[in-house]
Structures are given as C-alpha cells and as structure tokens.
Amino acid sequence: MHGPTKGNWQWAGRYSSLYKGSPPTPNTGWVANARIATQMCEEYWEHARLVMNRRR
C-alpha cells in the first residue's frame, strides 16, 4: 500500500439494525496501530448505542 495511509490501520463502525435514526459520525478513519483501531470501533458502538433510538 502506498500513500498517506501506508502503515496505518483502518477502523469502521457499523450501527445495529435494531436502531433507527441517523448514525453518529465519523464512522471510519485511519489510526497508527491495531489497538487504537479496536478502541475506536468500541467507542463508536458505545456512542451509537447511547444516541440512537431503539426500534419498537
């Protein structure tokens, strides 16, 4: 891989289909290592769970 993302890890968050409304952003990005990428995914999920309304 070449360019500005070489050596970085991509993270991406996906909200559950059990929720409705607009998902929080950003939901993807590039970070320096796998540990931070995992942390970003987990933080995204927690934030999405708090701000989105549960479907009934």
pLDDT above 70: percentage of residues in the chain? 93
**Could you tell me which residues come within 8 angstroms of residue 49 by beta carbon, excluding any fewer than 6 positions away?**
16, 19
Predicted confidence at residue 56, as pLDDT, reads 53
Q: Say which residue, 56 or 32, is predicted with more confidence.
A: 32
pLDDT of residue 53 exceeding 80, the answer is no
Q: Tell me the C-alpha to C-alpha distance, in Å, between residue 31 and each of 16, 18, 43.
A: 23, 28, 14
The model's confidence at residue 41, banded by pLDDT at 50, 70 and 90, is very high
The whole-number average pLDDT for the span 11-30 is: 84
Residues 17, 25: Cα–Cα separation, whole Å: 16
Average pLDDT score over the chain: 86
